[in-house]
Amino acid sequence: MSLIMILSTVLTALALARPSAAVLYVNPVDGRDGQAGTETEPLKSLAEALKRVEPGGTIRLADGVYREELTTRRAGLPQAVITIEPAAGARAVFDGESGKQNALRIVHSYYIVRGLEIRAMDEGIRLEGVTGVVVENNHIHHINNECVRLRYTAHDNILRRNVIHDCGLDSNGEGIYVGTAPEQRTKNKGRADSSVQNRLEANEIYNVEEGIDVKEDSSGTAIVGNVIYHSSDPESGAISIRSDANVVLNNVVFDNRGAGIRVGGDTAPHPQQAGSYLYGVRNVLHGNTALKNDYADYKFMRAPQQADCTNLASGLGTHGSYYFGSDIEDFLSCPPDLPEPYARYVAWHRSQVDN
């Protein structure tokens, strides 16, 4: 037998011996971590499932309350993503016992996390240095700090169709926080946190300090079709953009204490620019609706920006529809769109509460 045939036979045998990506089942009541992880012999903890899962595998969670602080153990692949989700008809609740622990820290790429309820944690979901992660259809609420955080060069991830509320019960309370502020770069070994090209889409966010906060070094974020209300920071906004070249499209922001959408960042050293750099320019705002925000509907602290009159405003805030920082010219003036759109969204909000 030739050497080529021998190698071919060995490689084929290895391929056949390698286990295929499987579904692992977890049941916090009836499971045991020494079992096989099948539907009839489930594991007890998600932590054990995270140790065992292979690229392309799925972890299915039974009905119940999970009291675990979790970190991923291995990465999926672009063509073999790891999925964490409830079993059919199940309600999987991660409860931090009044904020004594964190929820899920994703430090490996190519995951889908969907359909979970995460509550009463110190921190919610964190994506750190990863790509290809999708966080969708989750209910994240009553968190001491940020509900969702992307940091340490997390890029090309998607957060969509999540309901996020009551964040910042003890400290900073962003619904979704992208990147790291320049004065905190020491947390990223002194480097700029380029958490770029992430997509935040169709999330509902309320009862937070800021709804979506994108820090200075995290550009290229797509913020599309989110509904944000009842944010409490009077100096910021429901959406706060502090970096460059983001796209803010078709969002609805109303009843916020600060601005509906705030644009403009700090003056700080830039990793690719000499001297101090004025962050927060060349952002695109299109098709947004900002209604009855206490400070202003739109607050521009830097220029240039690409914004037009497809962005609707109510003009009911202290500074009307638009506020411009003292060192920039007023570059946008559109008639307010009173008051019928606001009434429509108030009715929508009440229908959500009633249901």
Question: Can you read off the two tokens belonging to residue 299?
Answer: 């607050």
**What's phi and psi for 354, nearest 5 deg?**
-65, -30
Supply angle C-alpha 158, 161, 163, rounded to 5.
115
In a domain, 344, yes or no: yes
Answer yes or no: are the C-beta atoms of 92 and 86 closer than 8 Å.
yes
Determine contact, residues 71/107, Cβ cutoff 8 Å. yes
Q: Are 255 and 229 in contact (CB under 8 A)?
A: yes
pLDDT at 24 > cutoff 50: yes
Q: How confident is the model over 145-150, as a mean pLDDT?
A: 97
Structural domain that includes position 228: 175-355
Of residues 203 and 190, the one with the higher pLDDT is 203
Residue 14 is predicted with a pLDDT of 41
Q: What sign does the dihedral 209-91-158-350 (CA atoms) show?
A: negative
Radius of gyration (C-alpha) of the chain in whole angstroms: 23
Cα gap 278→28, rounded to integer Å: 51
* Cα dihedral: 74, 78, 82, 86 (round 10): 150
User: Mean pLDDT score of the chain, rounded to an integer?
Assistant: 90
Q: What is the pLDDT of residue 346?
A: 61
Per the CB < 8 A criterion, the answer to whether 278 and 267 are in contact is yes
In a domain, 211, yes or no: yes
Flag whether 28 is in a domain: no
Domain membership flag for residue 314: yes
- pTM to 2 decimals? 0.89
Tokens representing residue 353 in the block: 């509460």
The pLDDT of residue 171: 78
Rounded to whole angstroms, how far apart are CA atoms 209 and 191? Answer: 26
Per-residue pLDDT, averaged over 149-155, amounts to 97
pLDDT mean over 39-62: 98
- Two tokens at 256? 């916020």
Number of domains into which the chain is organized: 1
Here the tokens at position 79 are 């063509």
Confidence band of 7 (pLDDT split at 50, 70, 90)? very low
User: Beta 104-106 vs 134-136: how paired, if at all?
Assistant: unpaired
Domain contains 31 = no
354 sits in the region (left: phi over 0; alpha: psi -120 to 50; else beta) called alpha
Residue 254, H or E segment:
strand 252-254
Distance CA 355, CA 350 (A): 9
Whether residue 244 lies inside any domain: the answer is: yes
| Mean pLDDT to the nearest integer, 100-109 | 94
pLDDT tier, 156 (very low <50, low <70, confident <90, very high otherwise)? very high
Greater model confidence, 276 or 206: 206
Domain membership of residue 294 (yes or no) is: yes
Q: Is residue 290 part of a domain?
A: yes
